[in-house]
Amino acid sequence: MAVLAYSLGKREINQHFTIKNAKLISLAAVLLLLMFHAASRYYEGGDSCEWLLSRGRYLGEDVWQPYGCMMHKYKSIEAKTCLSEKRVAFVGDSRIRQLFYSFIKIINPERKEEGNKHEDISFEDKSYSIKDFLWYPEANNSMKERLISWTHVTRCSRPRSCHGNLVTWWLPIWSIKLHGGSNEALQQYKVNLTAIVGQLEKVAEHGEVYWVLQDPVNEEVLSENRKMITNQQLELYNEAAVDVLNSSKRNGRSRVRLVAASRQAALETIIKSDDGLHLPESTRSVGAMILMNSVCNKILRPIDGSCCQTLRAPNLLQKLSALFFLGSAVVFVVFHILGNNRHRRHVPPDVESLEEKKPATAAVPPGPKAPFQALCRMGVIMGYFYLCDRADVFMKEQKFYTHSTFFIPLIYIFVLGVFYSDNSKEAKLLNREQTDEWKGWMQLVILIYHISGASAFIPVYMHVRVLVAAYLFQTGYGHFSFFWLKGDFGLYRVCQVLFRLNFLVLVLCVVMDRPYQFYYFVPLVTFWFVVIYTTMAIWPQILQKTANSSGVWHFGVLAKLLGLLIFICFFAFSQGIFERVFSVWPISKLFELNGSIHEWWFRWKLDRFAVIHGMVFAFIYLVLQKRQVLSEGKGEALFSAKISNFLLFLSVVSFITYSIWASSCKTKTECNEMHPYISVILAFILIRNIPGYARSIYSSFFAWFGKISLELFICQYHIWLAADTKGILVLIPGNPSLNILVSTFIFVCVAHEISLITNDLAQVVIPKDSMALLKRLGAMGTLSLVILLVSRAGQPTPGA
């Protein structure tokens, strides 16, 4: 009964929740979310600077998350670059002095808190302008005179440079302390602040002025001479400052920016204060980093600092791509009106093997409307990509790793994977359903790894490195098997594989203005496909049917594999030659990232043996299979009982040993050096395939994701993660769990649709006729060269 209920439950779900319905729901969700965010920005304001300065929350201890945007953690060299021509002044009492020191420590981490408590302090470096702390505990005439002097002195001699200033104020503590928290003192504070606010606005005309709201105190541990400083008093003074500054607004906005976020951070940490008044250093660092982001993000434009950044104007290629998709949509509409509807979607083949189920009837060739319909759909999807990660429409937040954010979702997906288990159509080792399942669960683990920021935890990082190596192992296994069994080295086959691997990435390179190497996995598998093809295609072409006639040919294959191994080792130990080879234009355009091929070198070297590992395994397996050494019947163990048990025991021990080693690694560098030489991929294959019952079942849930694993890996960069993978896309603010569910649902639907679009266009772009294919390749080569030249000419000059 339980099995029957289980089967009926799955059938009921699959009947009503189809992928077509899911895509319609996701489209409606995107439209509703666009309207929600547009209305929210219209009525509540969409200035990410205001979000940064006004509110946020702690993700974990000492990790501050501004509302709706990402805060970059500035390093010394970045801070010096940003502030090199700025003069900075912090004006106020002892608490603003601490903020000043925290700010200075971003510039110079070695700087110590020294100097007399109630005096001005100056920080100066020969290469950089002056940073001052000015002791003004009260808003009075002396302060007003200082402001007037700043507004009348010669250009660039006040606390500003030719590029602007940074003046930060913080005042009420001493007014409360000296006057016992009296109401008269509060009224006088309002009068004095009103008297200087005009001068503050004038200073702000030439730079940036920030008024920091008072942080709370821990009243229980305040000393006796500070007992009059209460949170109620501080709140009254904050309200007074807000009222006065808001009353000075011109055109609906004051030039003096209010900083309330540091106060919100202090509300959660003031209990850690030693004296109840001065904040812990970690909280002061949050306030300093908020100010640094507000000042420097618009200058340095860090990828993971979306707060206070203005939008970049689309470049020429982005504008042309928009026109191209728009033109395709117009042509599609014209064909639709004319009634040209002949189109049949083909079954998408697997990228690794390009095998597909043959339809019962001959497939109708796609009509002229089909490619334009596909391009129209692709244009809509690319519009969503652009809105998510290049336009200022949706919000972004930074990642923060905890064990629960990684392992709890992991448990959920594996429960679902077990729930959706079915019988395999065949029981061969690494059969089609099983390899799809393998790719599927690995991709889901990698997605969770990326969105949870789990790379910060070295044991998880190392295990995920094995998953990436396993993908490359499958590349070697799948392509070697195809060439060995079918011997199809034709141009059509090569172009089909290259198109399916690269279509989405090449479109994203143009639409999202990213280099090809940014999507590192695609260059990696493309490179290795070319290497495998070259290895198998060069003379002598040795196939299974050739080797069957004479066992000597097996040694020929081994010689080829040995030659490939020598080639890999030569490049691995010759970094200089490697860099010279891949730095030649136009090859360098494929492998450079930020003007360097270091990233390509790192990725290539890290998993350099994974592909040949897969090729060797495929060769040995196919030879053993041909000689009927293996038992691959349903329910049969792969080997005899003794051998099977021994290999299973060895595989389990290998897994445990690897996990212990990965957990003992101290640094990623240390682990990465050993990673190419340590592999548990074979151990997994044996555990998964030796028992007959294990080969006879598979998870249809994981296999479904495995069929679109490439699209999932690429799409996550911009419509699930954000800021080019540095952060997380926020479609639903204020509810992280719901946001992840909704963004994941849309992301998966988009990835599936792109896989279908790629298949549709492959039928048109890659014709089977050799002459037509050569003409297409010539046209695409010319177009690629033009794009390379345009992108090269359009690159900004240094310092622009």
Q: What is the pLDDT of residues 453-489, one digit of tens each?
A: 999 999 999 999 999 999 999 999 999 999 999 999 9
Give pLDDT, residue 160. Answer: 43
Indicate if the pLDDT at residue 750 is higher than 90: yes
More confident residue, 633 or 654: 654
Q: Please give the structure tokens belonging to residue 204.
A: 């702000």
* Collapsed DSSP state (helix, strand, coil) of residue 205: coil
**Helix/strand/coil (H/E/C) assignment for every residue in 437-495:** HHHHHHHHHHHHHHHHCHHHCHHHHHHHHHHHHHHHHHHHHHHHHHHHHHCCCCHHHHH
Q: Which of 638-646's residues contact partners 24+ apart within 8 Å by CB, and which partners?
A: 638/429, 638/689, 638/690, 638/692, 638/695, 639/690, 644/690, 644/691
Q: What is the pLDDT of residues 729-747, one digit of tens each?
A: 999 998 999 999 999 999 9
The position carrying tokens 């000043």 is: 100
Q: Please give the structure tokens belonging to residue 719.
A: 């419509």
Indicate if the pLDDT at residue 347 is higher than 80: no
Closest by CA to 547, choosing from 631, 485, 457, is 485
Residue ranges per domain, the chain? 48-153+162-300, 335-766, 768-792
Give pLDDT, residue 292. Answer: 95
Instruction: Please tell me the distance from the alpha carbon of residue 431 to that of residue 422, in angstroms, as a whole number.
Output: 14
| Pair type for strands 721-722 and 727-730 | antiparallel
Ranking 239-253, 286-300, 548-562, 762-776 by mean pLDDT, the lowest is 239-253
Give pLDDT, residue 146. Answer: 85
Indicate which residue of 278, 336, 343, 554 is catalytic. 278
Indicate which residue of 84, 94, 182, 588 is catalytic. 94
More confident residue, 607 or 250: 607
Q: What is the pLDDT of residues 535-548, one digit of tens each?
A: 999 999 999 998 88
Instruction: Please tell me the distance from the alpha carbon of residue 174 to that of residue 92, in angstroms, as a whole number.
Output: 10
275 a catalytic residue: yes
Closest by CA to 720, choosing from 399, 315, 311, is 399
Whether 95 and 278 have beta carbons less than 8 Å apart is answered as yes
* Collapsed DSSP state (helix, strand, coil) of residue 177: helix
Residues 6+ apart with CB under 8 A from 666: 458
Q: In what order do the strands lie in the sheet with 87-92?
A: 121-125, 128-135, 87-92, 165-170, 208-212, 256-259
More confident residue, 796 or 514: 514
* Collapsed DSSP state (helix, strand, coil) of residue 167: strand
Indicate if the pLDDT at residue 285 is higher than 50: yes
Instruction: Please state which of the four CATH numbers 1.10.101.10, 2.40.170.20, 3.40.50.1110, 1.10.1050.10 is assigned to the domain occupying 48-153+162-300.
Output: 3.40.50.1110
Task: Please state, rounded to an integer, the average pLDDT across all residues of the chain.
Answer: 88
| Pair type for strands 165-170 and 87-92 | parallel
pTM of structure: 0.91
Indicate which residue of 274, 275, 488, 769 is catalytic. 275
Percent residues over pLDDT 90 in the chain: 63
Sign of CA dihedral 759, 761, 766, 768: positive
**Helix/strand/coil (H/E/C) assignment for every residue in 57-120:** EEEECCEEEECCCCCCCCCHHHHHHHHCCCEEEEEECHHHHHHHHHHHHHHCCCCCCCCCCCCC
Indicate if the pLDDT at residue 725 is higher than 50: yes
Ranking 70-84, 131-145, 307-321 by mean pLDDT, the lowest is 131-145
Ranking 77-91, 261-275, 687-701 by mean pLDDT, the lowest is 77-91
The counts of H helices and E strands in the chain are 32, 13
Whether 670 and 676 have beta carbons less than 8 Å apart is answered as no
Neighbours of 179 (CB within 10 A): 16
Q: Which of 181-189's residues contact partners 24+ apart within 8 Å by CB, and which partners?
A: 181/228, 181/229, 181/230, 181/233, 186/233, 186/236, 186/237, 186/240, 189/139, 189/237, 189/240
Mean pLDDT of 643-654: 96
